[in-house]
Structure 1
Amino acid sequence: MQMTELAEVRGTPLFAALVRRRRKFVAWLTAATLIPYYTFILVAAFAPDALATKFPGSAVMNVGWPVGAALIVGTWLLTGVYVRRANGEFDALTAEILAGEKQ
């Protein structure tokens, strides 16, 4: 692809829509990942007794373990959400942009 073709693609309204949608979605997923992680770290630093509380019905496990595991599983799920949307909506928009440029 030549630089002029690249400039033409970047100038299309579909490309601008793709970039806008993807950035908004990535920002949402980033916040959905980082806010719980930082909250967990801040609770561990400033209120460790909250995470050290024994899990109800367990004499061994504290609340911090399942919360930490949920953070990891949640991150995997959010990654799956991104991959699904990228392979669907974002790839379809990219194909539409490229098809329009080949005409």
Structure 2
Amino acid sequence: MEQDVVQRVKADPNYQKLVKTRSRYGWMLAWAMMIVYYGFTALNAFDKPFMAAKIGDGVMSRGVPLGLAVIVFTVAITGIYVRRANREFDALTEAIHKNASAEAKKEAA
């Protein structure tokens, strides 16, 4: 019985769309995060004079706001993912669940 449900879910076009879209979107955001994070790390490692340069007449270096920008970027892309998941991915998941439940009820009858 469980294998039948699994096969029906896997065959559902909504499931295939969900897996493809969510995976592609997740990887896109992961790559964006890696570029930002490793770019910041590479600047720290390979361009210390740039990161240590003071901003204006104060004591703050460029590295501090850039580090803060990395943190803000992380929070922002998390929010972007959650927003899309709540709107699109949850709707697809609900449609998959309804289709699987409806088909299970048909077979039980």
Residues in 2 aligned to 1:99 and 1:26: alpha-carbon distance in whole angstroms = 25
Q: What corresponds to 1:64 in structure 2?
A: 63
Residue pairs, 1:44-83, within 5 angstroms? 44-55=44-55, 57-83=56-82
Q: What do the CA deviations read for 1:23-76 (whole angstroms, capped 9, x no partner)?
A: 111011101111011011111111111101111x23200000000000001101
Displacement of 1:95 in angstroms is 0.5
Moved over 2 A (4+): none
1:19 aligned onto 2:19:
yes
Q: What corresponds to 2:6 in structure 1?
A: 6
Query: TM-score normalized by structure 1?
Result: 0.92
Supply the RMSD in Å over aligned alpha carbons.
1.3
Q: What corresponds to 1:99 in structure 2?
A: 98
Displacement of 1:100 in angstroms is 1.5
Structure 1 segments unaligned to the other structure (5+ residues):
none
Displacement of 1:85 in angstroms is 1.1
Query: Using CA pairs below 8 Å that are at least 6 residues apart, which structure has the higher relative contact order?
Result: 2
Residues in 2 aligned to 1:3 and 1:88: alpha-carbon distance in whole angstroms = 29
Structure 2 segments unaligned to the other structure (5+ residues):
103-109
Letter in 1 for 2:81: Y
